[in-house]
């Protein structure tokens, strides 16, 4: 691999999803935003295992619920 190699990941979106992302995410911030999301997902998987991915993909929980629950768990841990 060359020193300039940068791995990339592409995903398929619906037209509606694409338009909403364009509406809510300013031009130029998409890459940084998705890198942050990927980092957070990796961290969640490292701490809680593959059940995080399974719960999100199956839509048993939303990303917002995962973050809220983990925030509650983390604040309870700090109280102990």
53 found inside a domain: yes
- Over residues 2-24, the pLDDT tens digits come to 788 989 999 999 999 999 999 99
Spatial distance between the Cα atoms of 53 and 41, rounded to a whole number of angstroms? 8
User: Total domain count for the chain?
Assistant: 1
Residue 22 belongs to what domain range?
Answer: 15-79
Residue 19 maps to a domain: yes
Retrieve residue 46's tokens.
């490292």
The 10s digit of each residue's pLDDT in 27-80 is: 899 999 999 989 988 988 998 888 888 888 898 888 778 777 777 777 776 665
Residue 2 lies inside a defined structural domain of this protein: no
Residue 5 lies in a domain: no
Task: Establish if 6 belongs to a structural domain.
Answer: no
Per the domain annotation, does 57 fall within a domain?
A: yes
Stated pTM of the model: 0.68
- Look at residue 1 and tell me if it is in a domain: no
H helices of 1-80, where? Answer: 15-24, 30-48, 51-57, 63-79
Distance CA 13, CA 3 (A): 31
Is 47 a member of any domain? yes
């Amino acid at each position: 691999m060359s020193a300039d190699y940068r791995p990339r990941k592409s995903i398929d979106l619906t037209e509606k999803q694409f338009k909403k992302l364009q509406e809510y995410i300013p031009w130029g911030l998409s890459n940084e935003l998705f890198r942050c999301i990927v980092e957070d997902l990796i961290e969640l998987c490292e701490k809680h295992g593959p059940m995080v991915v399974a719960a999100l993909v199956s839509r048993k929980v939303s990303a917002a619920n995962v973050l809220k629950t983990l925030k509650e768990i983390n604040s309870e841990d700090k109280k102990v």
